[in-house]
Amino acid sequence: MAKRIHSKNSLVTYLLGGFFSLYVLFLYGPMFIIFLLSFQGPTGGMTFPIQEYSLHWFKELFSDNIAADVSGSFQRSIILGLMVMTLTVTISVIAALGFRRNFKGSGIMFYGAIISLIMPGFLISFGMGLILQLLDIESTWYTTALGAQLTWTLPFGLLIMFAVLARFDRSVEEAARDLGATSWQTMRYVVVPLLLPGITGVALFGFTLSYDEIPRTTLVVGDSNTLPMEILAMTNTLTTPSLYAIGTLTTVVSVASITFALFAIKRMQDRLGSSQIASSES
């Protein structure tokens, strides 16, 4: 499908290509600078020049010199991310299957999810904080912050599943049923494997959105901070390249999970593609 309006050598392609490159530079440039500066030597400061390259500020992160609880908050964020991921996948996939029928009240539910997506996250945190205070309930990262984060990840998961299901051929499902599969078997052996690349996408969103979440978490996280909350607090107090070191570390975790998920999706699609070819040939 060639949809090109402008040929490869046209002026428009060159100009927009140049603009696109500038945008990518703008997107990655600052990150690259803090990546470099996080390897600053022990005597170096928060700006250039780099005195010498060392891992000094990374070690510093996990030493007693830093008032922040880096390793603890890092563990909590990973666990919370996995919890949010599991719940987001389960709840949004099942709900999206429900939305395939135009059931009574589906409009209200849909707009509820949209409101959840576009509501300034900070207000959710504030409202929940008020409820907890009035009922005298204590907030923790694995209860209240978990719930608050779900109001952000679930609508995302739902929208991705809508896009995936829009391309899903329902005749496959009917074929399975005609061949005598129970509805559980149809689900387990036909629907879920076909949806798996999309579901992995939902999992990626669930994990990374939770792992970086601040506005919804901020007032309901309780005494033990998650990593982004800890980093936000550090921006006020920490004036050494350790701030960049933590930035580099957390970005590495994010990028690793994206790469892992994208490879997983690619593999599943390849496998689905080859099994379809195999079945059409036989």
Partner 1 sequence: MQKITTKENGVSWIQVTPLAIILLGFLIAPLLVILTVSFWEYDIGGMYPAFSHVNYTEILTSHTTINLYLRTFKFTFFVWLITLSIGFSVSYFLSFCVASTTWRIALFLLCTIPFWTSNVIRMIAWIPFLGRNGAINQGLASMGLIDQPLEFLLFSEFAVILTYVHLYTLFMIVPIFNAMSKIDPDVIEAARDAGANGWQIVRHIIVPLTLNGVALGSIFIITLVMGDFFIVRVMSGGLSGSVASAMYNEITGLQYPAAAANAVLLVITVVLLVSVILRFVDVRKVLTE
**Judged by CB, which is closer to partner 1: 64, or 105?**
105
Choosing from 82, 159, 187, 272, the residue that interacts with partner 1 (CB under 8 A) is 159
d(CA 205, CA 196): 14
Least distance (Å) from partner 1 to the CB of residue 275? 22
**Judged by CB, which is closer to partner 1: 156, or 176?**
156
Choosing from 61, 195, 231, 268, the residue that interacts with partner 1 (CB under 8 A) is 231
* Residue 53 DSSP one-character state: B
Per-residue contact string for residues 240-269; x = within reach of partner 1 by CB under 8 A = ---xx-xx--xx--xx-xx---x-------
Nearest in space to 60 (alpha carbons), one of 225, 245, 232: 245
Least distance (Å) from partner 1 to the CB of residue 103? 4
* Residue 83 neighbours by CB distance under 10 Å: 18
Choosing from 44, 70, 141, 151, the residue that interacts with partner 1 (CB under 8 A) is 151
Q: Of the listed pieces 4-12, 60-68, 195-203, 270-278, which binds partner 1 according to CB under 8 A?
A: 4-12
The position carrying tokens 């009922």 is 135
Q: Is 176 in the site for partner 1 (CB under 8 A)?
A: no
Q: Is 1 in the site for partner 1 (CB under 8 A)?
A: yes
Question: Using CB under 8 A, which residues numbered 55 to 74 contact partner 1?
Answer: none
**Judged by CB, which is closer to partner 1: 18, or 42?**
18
Nearest in space to 38 (alpha carbons), one of 26, 46, 30, 27: 46
Asked if residues 65 and 128 have their Cβ atoms less than 8 Å apart, the reply is no
The position carrying tokens 């395939």 is 100
Peptide bond into 49 cis (omega under 30): yes
Tell me, rounded to whole angstroms, the distance of Cα 177 from its chain centroid: 35
Per-residue contact string for residues 18-57; x = within reach of partner 1 by CB under 8 A = -xx--xx-xxxxxx-xx--x--------xxx---------
Tokens standing for residue 221? 């996280």
Choosing from 43, 67, 134, 280, the residue that interacts with partner 1 (CB under 8 A) is 134
Least distance (Å) from partner 1 to the CB of residue 245? 11
Distances (CA, A) of 197 to 65, 98, 151, 243: 44, 19, 23, 36
Question: Using CB under 8 A, which residues numbered 97 to 116 contact partner 1?
Answer: 97-99, 101-107, 109-116
Asked if residues 217 and 230 have their Cβ atoms less than 8 Å apart, the reply is no
**Judged by CB, which is closer to partner 1: 65, or 259?**
259
Phi, psi dihedrals of residue 53, rounded to the nearest 5°: -90, 135
Least distance (Å) from partner 1 to the CB of residue 130? 5
Q: Is 82 in the site for partner 1 (CB under 8 A)?
A: no
* Residue 40 DSSP one-character state: B
Q: Is 203 in the site for partner 1 (CB under 8 A)?
A: no
Phi, psi dihedrals of residue 273, rounded to the nearest 5°: -60, -50
Least distance (Å) from partner 1 to the CB of residue 60? 17
